[in-house]
Amino acid sequence: NMKNENAIIKTDFGNANGKSVDLYSIQFPNELEVQVTNYGGIVTSLKVPDKNGVMEDVVLGYDELQGYLNETPYFGALIGRYGNRIAKGQFELEGETYDLATNNNQNHLHGGIKGFDKVVWEVIEVVDEENRKGLSLKYVSADGEEGYPGELTTIVDYIFTPNSFEITYEATTSKTTVVNLTQHSYFNLSGNASEDILGHELTINASLFLPVDNTLIPTGELRPVRDTPFDFTNPKLIGEDVNATNEQIGFGGGFDHCWVMTEAPTAQIRKVATLSHQQSGRSMEVHTKEPAIQFYSGNFLDGTITGKNEKVYHQRYGLCLETQHLPDSPNQGQFPSTVLKKGETYSTATKYVFSTSN
């Protein structure tokens, strides 16, 4: 029976927060092979074939759990309660002021000191069908955890097909709160992080981006990308403008900005970005319901991290394409709302689709 041969394999991955952690291995032979752990919902490995059929890993990470338990730049992780930054770690909601950790200079980043990337998720279901395999992950965040109001119950489904990684997010709350979930995989389509990502070609279907201040908080302006280094409306090599003489590039140390596709989330998932690497023949499309996408060109990687297979991750050896709501939305009333009320369900989806061409 072929089904059992390629069944999801669960192995022990160690311990975190006094709980045992597992690693799930999912395989579509010669198409897509992936490993996911329920610690932080981390995708530890994602292999796709190049144009010669060679399977190589296209995400950054560590061989062992310990790497993720140490200081890590969110490799492969599920991010919550709030992806990206909230200015000065503070926001107001229904007349109350909430104080959050300032874990990124004076700002709050990616849910705080111990965000969703650092907790052990409960695996509530394993999906193991012929062309759909994956996990349903659940985490209940206590009222007041990391300073956020409301007990937040989050269920995230990771579903893999022979050529895609699909993520659906759902969350409910016991009282009014803010939510902005995302996935923080660092991609390098060259395979096994064999070179930097500057030779990757990127398209972002967005005519607007968010300028930031020197602490990387959006100024509130939605600026047209036209005639700026931020114009990826046509395919462009990342290296072409990553070091452009531009105040915004200076603030980010390269690209570390949010592109805005629409004024609000959409009911339909649609393609928002395409990444390709000509030499390997690998391409990846990003589809989402979210209104925006953060493109980060791995500027803060600096050669101090040794990842999988003893690979040293130098500057720009990986890039992130994080689908999300706009950063600092709780403090910027003109941005689409990230408020979730009791009785409502936060619901969104993102899909990474891989292909290979000669």
Asked which of 160-174, 209-223, 251-265, 317-331 is least confident by mean pLDDT, the reply is 251-265
Q: The pTM is what? A: 0.97
Give the pLDDT score at 266: 80
For residues 303-307, average pLDDT: 96
For residues 268-284, average pLDDT: 97
Give the pLDDT score at 72: 86
Give the pLDDT score at 3: 52
* pLDDT tens readout for residues 34-73: 999 999 999 999 999 999 999 999 999 999 999 999 978 9
Active site residue 184: yes
Beta-ladder partners of 36:
24, 43
Cβ–Cβ under 8 Å, residues 323 and 272: yes
Residue of 184, 257, 287, 325 with catalytic role: 184
For residues 306-319, average pLDDT: 97
Mean pLDDT over all residues of the chain? Answer: 96
Cβ–Cβ under 8 Å, residues 162 and 32: yes
Confidence at 1, pLDDT banded by 50, 70, 90: very low
- Report DSSP letters for 33-99, one per residue: EEEEETBTTEEEEEEEE-TT--EEE-B---SSHHHHHSS---TTEEE-SB-SEEGGGEEEETTEEEE
Confidence at 104, pLDDT banded by 50, 70, 90: very high
CB atoms within 10 A of CB 21: 20
Give the pLDDT score at 230: 98
**Alpha carbon distance 182, 322 (integer Å):** 6
Active site residue 285: no
For residues 311-330, average pLDDT: 98
Confidence at 4, pLDDT banded by 50, 70, 90: low
Percent of the chain with pLDDT over 90: 96
| Nearest residue to 233 (alpha-carbon basis) of 224, 221, 243 | 224
| Nearest residue to 141 (alpha-carbon basis) of 96, 97, 175, 108 | 175
Confidence at 6, pLDDT banded by 50, 70, 90: confident
**Alpha carbon distance 310, 247 (integer Å):** 36
Look up residue 118 and give its two tokens. 């650092």
**Alpha carbon distance 33, 181 (integer Å):** 25
Residue of 56, 146, 166, 322 with catalytic role: 322
Confidence at 262, pLDDT banded by 50, 70, 90: confident
pLDDT at 2 over 60: no
Cβ–Cβ under 8 Å, residues 227 and 98: no
Cβ–Cβ under 8 Å, residues 348 and 338: no
pLDDT at 32 over 70: yes
pLDDT at 269 over 90: yes
**Alpha carbon distance 110, 294 (integer Å):** 13
**Alpha carbon distance 227, 219 (integer Å):** 20
Give the pLDDT score at 358: 80
pLDDT at 131 over 50: yes
